[in-house]
Structure 1
Amino acid sequence: MYDKIRLKLYDLPVDYSWQAVLNRIGAQSYFADNTGGSGVWRGRRVIATETYVSFEGSLPKCLYGHNLRTLSLKEVEGLIMQLSKDLGVPMCDAEVEFLEFAHNFNMEEPPIMYMRKLDAMKKFRPNDWSGTKYIENDKIRLKFYDKIEEAKKKRELPKFGRLPKNLLRYEVTFYKKGLDSLFGRELTAKELWDKKVFWTLVAEWLGYYDDIVKLPNDCWNVGFDIWGSAKNFTKWCICIVNARQNLSYYVKHVLFKFRANPQPADRVLHGQIQKKIQEALEWGKIHLDAPNLTLELTTKIEQYLTWLLEQSPDGMTIEEEQLVWGMAS
Structure 2
Amino acid sequence: MYDKVKLVLYDLPTGYDWRSVLDRVKAQSYFASGTGGSGLWFGRKVIATEVSVSFEGSLPKCLWGHNLKTLSLRQVKYLIMKLSRDLDVPMYKAMVESAEFAHNFNMEEPPIMYMRKLDAMKKFKPNEWNGTKYIEDKEVRCKFYDKMQEAKKKRELPKYGRENLPRNLLRYEVTFSAKGLSRLFGRDIVAEELWSKLVFWTLVAEWFRYYEDMVKLPNNCWDVDYHIFESAKDFAKWCICIANADQNLSYYVKHVLFKLRANPQPQDRALHGQIQKKIQEALEWGKKHLALPDLTLELTGKIEQYLAWLLEQSADGMSTAEERRVFDAAC
Coarse TM-score class (shorter-chain normalised): over 0.9
**CA distance in structure 1 between the aligned counterparts of 2:2 and 2:57, rounded to whole angstroms:** 11
**Displacement after TM superposition at 1:264 (Å):** 4.2
Q: Which amino acid aligns with 1:177?
A: K
**CA distance in structure 1 between the aligned counterparts of 2:329 and 2:26, rounded to whole angstroms:** 49
Q: Could you say which residue in structure 1 is the equivalent of 2:2? A: 2
Secondary structure of the structure 2 residue equivalent to 1:45: strand
Gaps of 5+ in 1: none
TM-score normalized by structure 2?
Answer: 0.95
Alignment of 1:142-181 (within 5 A): 142-161=142-161, 162-181=164-183
Q: Could you say which residue in structure 2 is the equivalent of 1:185? A: 187
Matched, 1:20 2:20: yes
Q: Could you say which residue in structure 2 is the equivalent of 1:139? A: 139
Cα 1:156/1:89, change in 2 over 3 Å: same
**Displacement after TM superposition at 1:198 (Å):** 0.6
225, 247, 250: which is aligned to 1:245?
A: 247
Q: Which amino acid aligns with 2:126?
A: P
Which has the larger displacement, 249-258 or 16-25?
249-258
Q: Could you say which residue in structure 1 is the equivalent of 2:101? A: 101
TM-score normalized by structure 1?
Answer: 0.95
Q: Which amino acid aligns with 1:301?
A: I
**CA distance in structure 2 between the aligned counterparts of 1:225 and 1:54, rounded to whole angstroms:** 49
Q: Could you say which residue in structure 2 is the equivalent of 1:288? A: 290
Q: Which amino acid aligns with 2:76?
A: V
Matched, 1:112 2:146: no
| Aligned-residue CA RMSD (Å) | 1.6
322, 325, 329: which is aligned to 1:320?
A: 322
**CA distance in structure 1 between the aligned counterparts of 2:248 and 2:123, rounded to whole angstroms:** 33
**Displacement after TM superposition at 1:147 (Å):** 0.9
Gaps of 5+ in 2: none
Cα 1:327/1:12, change in 2 over 3 Å: closer
Q: Could you say which residue in structure 2 is the equivalent of 1:304? A: 306
Which has the larger displacement, 39-48 or 226-235?
226-235
Which has the larger displacement, 17-26 or 262-271?
262-271
**Displacement after TM superposition at 1:215 (Å):** 1.8
**Displacement after TM superposition at 1:227 (Å):** 2.0
Give per-residue Cα distances to partners, 1:190-209, cap 9 Å, x unaligned: 11011111111111111111
Q: Could you say which residue in structure 2 is the equivalent of 1:218? A: 220
**CA distance in structure 2 between the aligned counterparts of 1:82 and 1:327, rounded to whole angstroms:** 29
**Displacement after TM superposition at 1:9 (Å):** 0.7
Tell me the number of residue pairs that the alignment of Structure 1 and Structure 2 aligns. Answer: 328
**Displacement after TM superposition at 1:327 (Å):** 8.0
**Displacement after TM superposition at 1:26 (Å):** 4.1
**Displacement after TM superposition at 1:292 (Å):** 1.6
Matched, 1:258 2:257: no
Secondary structure of the structure 1 residue equivalent to 2:328: coil
Give per-residue Cα distances to partners, 1:28-54, cap 9 Å, x unaligned: 221111111111111111111111110
**CA distance in structure 2 between the aligned counterparts of 1:27 and 1:268, rounded to whole angstroms:** 80
Alignment of 1:76-91 (within 5 A): 76-91=76-91
**CA distance in structure 2 between the aligned counterparts of 1:126 and 1:33, rounded to whole angstroms:** 41
- Calculate percent identity across the aligned residue pairs: 73
**CA distance in structure 2 between the aligned counterparts of 1:54 and 1:110, rounded to whole angstroms:** 37
**CA distance in structure 2 between the aligned counterparts of 1:206 and 1:168, rounded to whole angstroms:** 15
Q: Which amino acid aligns with 1:124?
A: F
**CA distance in structure 2 between the aligned counterparts of 1:154 and 1:227, rounded to whole angstroms:** 32
**Displacement after TM superposition at 1:266 (Å):** 3.4
**Displacement after TM superposition at 1:133 (Å):** 1.2
**CA distance in structure 2 between the aligned counterparts of 1:327 and 1:59, rounded to whole angstroms:** 28
Q: Which amino acid aligns with 1:233?
A: F
